[in-house]
Structure 1
Amino acid sequence: MTIGCLFIHGFGGAPYELEPLYHKLKESTEWKLKVPILPGHDEGESLEEKEYREWVDKAEDDLKGLISECDKVYLIGYSMGGVIAAYLSTKYTVDKLILLSTSAHYLDPAQLAKDILKMAKEGLQGDLKENDLFQRYIRRMGAAPMSASLEFQKLVNDLRPFFHQVKVPALIIQGAEDGLLPPKSAQFIYDSIQSTEKTLHFLPQSKHMVCHGPEQSDLLHLVCEFLEVDQTLSS
């Protein structure tokens, strides 16, 4: 049986937001893994004049490709990517859905940059603060054009109702110390989706970037358990 997994990153971010989880599944499985870069998010690109449908369409195209190649498909979305993933799970036949730090309500990009920078200064990210990608992320989020921020807001507002249509098994994870998403955001998603198999898990010490947080190993374990990955195969 061929299994595919699509990762969808967040607004202003890039695939590295999900990198630890991607590498865990890559080393533990033989699945087809896709991590698209949403339009305007690649290095050297601008978010200026981008419309949110472009982000959704890119993820949708990659999902359709996986569905055509695989017997089972899983969706993993982070932050804004979680909103897109939930929406796509209502349009296509997917087998499992994972929502990480998902924005059920609009997030202010400038505040996101400040929160992540504060997290690094507090030492919760170890050497990530010195990572060039991390520094680029801070600059990019703080300089997000108003037009892109408005598109982000429109995306969340337009796609939020689709949480009520989600029926696939779902795992929802949020950092309990997330300064951007209050616990009610994850609770809203949990209460909204119609899945008979759904789990909500808060990581006590983690903030918004849960894949790079202090409970990274717990997150990887939760995801692998949900996706039924044999963790004894990983190095």
Structure 2
Amino acid sequence: MAEKYPVLEGAEPFYFEGNKVGILISHGFTGSTQSMRPLGEAYAKAGYTVCGPRLNGHGTHYEEMETTTYADWIASIEEGYQWLKERCDTIFVTGLSMGGTLTLYLAEKYPDIKGIIVINAAIEIPDMEAVQHANVRFLDAIGSDIKNPNVKELAYEKTPVKSVREIVKLMEIVKNKLSQITCPVLIFVSEEDHVVPPGNSQIIYDQVSSPVKKMIELKNSYHVATLDYDQDVIIDETLVFIDKALK
């Protein structure tokens, strides 16, 4: 039977087999793997084993997303984690936006994770909290907040209100357990972000218990920094961070 909503071109999951160090990569809310693929390819080129799952309900149609919960999104990222566990001795996790939220979630749950890299991670978005009980089914799109006018994110053109309620729940769960994170943490934060308030990154930095933590400000990117002008900064600094953590 044909899928009701096929996976959009460019939104497919990606996997690269490399050495015994694995990097799990998570895209964000209403987005797709397209936003993270350049990072995945760069890390694979550096020799790492890379897994970029497509989060349940993402990369197809916003009506399908509406039927999923935050538990489904966690399940998608945990499946990727297990895929890497079967192949690698050491695992790092990185994510953008809600992908950063899921990255934090994994670090809270699995202390064996070697280090995490979060990019404009979300743990509280007052705008979303305000609209989660809106008496409509869909809101405007939140995707493609990119400074570079020549780049577009592959993301949904509408945001299901039901899904907003789910991410609000997920953010609250993750925020309450930040102190459980002890692995090395690298935080990227865009100075100007129209989706996740940059202050989220400071809260994460302050509340994790990691002895090794670093925050890098991205001066030339909006929310989807992985596709924006600072893409190379994220890739280069992440590779340095991983290299240090492995020593």
TM-score between both structures, scaled by the size of structure 1? 0.83
Between the aligned partners of 2:182 and 2:239, the Cα distance in structure 1 is 20
Work out the number of aligned pairs and report it: 213
Percent identity between matched residues is 25
Greater helix proportion: 1
Do residues 127 (structure 1) and 150 (structure 2) align? Answer: yes
Partner of 2:36, secondary structure, is: helix
Aligned-pair distance for 1:44? Answer: 4.5
1:98-156: CA deviations, max 9, x gaps?
0011002136474734x72xx4xxxx324324xxxx3x52xx1x412111111111111
Structure 1 residues 179 and 144: CA distance shift in structure 2, 3 A = closer
Query: Residue in 1 aligned with 2:8?
Result: none
Query: Residue in 1 aligned with 2:158?
Result: 143
List gaps (5 residues or longer) in structure 1.
Answer: 230-235
Q: Tell me which of 132, 152, 156 is aligned to 2:171.
A: 156
> In the alignment, is the contact (CA less than 8 A) between 2:57 and 2:67 conserved in 1?
no
Query: Residue in 1 aligned with 2:117?
Result: 98
List gaps (5 residues or longer) in structure 2.
Answer: 1-18, 129-138
Q: Tell me which of 180, 200, 215 is aligned to 1:165.
A: 180
Aligned-pair distance for 1:183? Answer: 3.0
> In the alignment, is the contact (CA less than 8 A) between 1:206 and 1:213 conserved in 2?
yes
Structure 1 residues 197-206 or 99-108, which shifts more?
Answer: 99-108
TM-score between both structures, scaled by the size of structure 2? 0.80
RMSD of aligned residue pairs (Cα, Å): 2.0
Query: Residue in 2 aligned with 1:194?
Result: 209
- Which one-letter code corresponds to 2:119 in the other structure? L
- Which one-letter code corresponds to 1:182 in the other structure? P
**Relative contact order (alpha carbons < 8 A, sep ≥ 6): 1 or 2 greater?**
1
Q: Tell me which of 72, 76, 88 is aligned to 2:90.
A: 72
> In the alignment, is the contact (CA less than 8 A) between 2:182 and 2:208 conserved in 1?
yes
Between the aligned partners of 1:63 and 1:149, the Cα distance in structure 2 is 25
Do residues 184 (structure 1) and 199 (structure 2) align? Answer: yes
> In the alignment, is the contact (CA less than 8 A) between 2:121 and 2:201 conserved in 1?
yes
Query: Residue in 1 aligned with 2:78?
Result: 60
1:181-228: CA deviations, max 9, x gaps?
333211000001000000011111211011111122222211111112
Query: Residue in 1 aligned with 2:39?
Result: 21
> In the alignment, is the contact (CA less than 8 A) between 1:86 and 1:162 conserved in 2?
no
Structure 1 residues 199-208 or 61-70, which shifts more?
Answer: 61-70
Between the aligned partners of 2:61 and 2:20, the Cα distance in structure 1 is 35
Partner of 1:50, secondary structure, is: coil
Query: Residue in 2 aligned with 1:81?
Result: 99
Between the aligned partners of 2:198 and 2:120, the Cα distance in structure 1 is 10
> In the alignment, is the contact (CA less than 8 A) between 1:104 and 1:156 conserved in 2?
yes
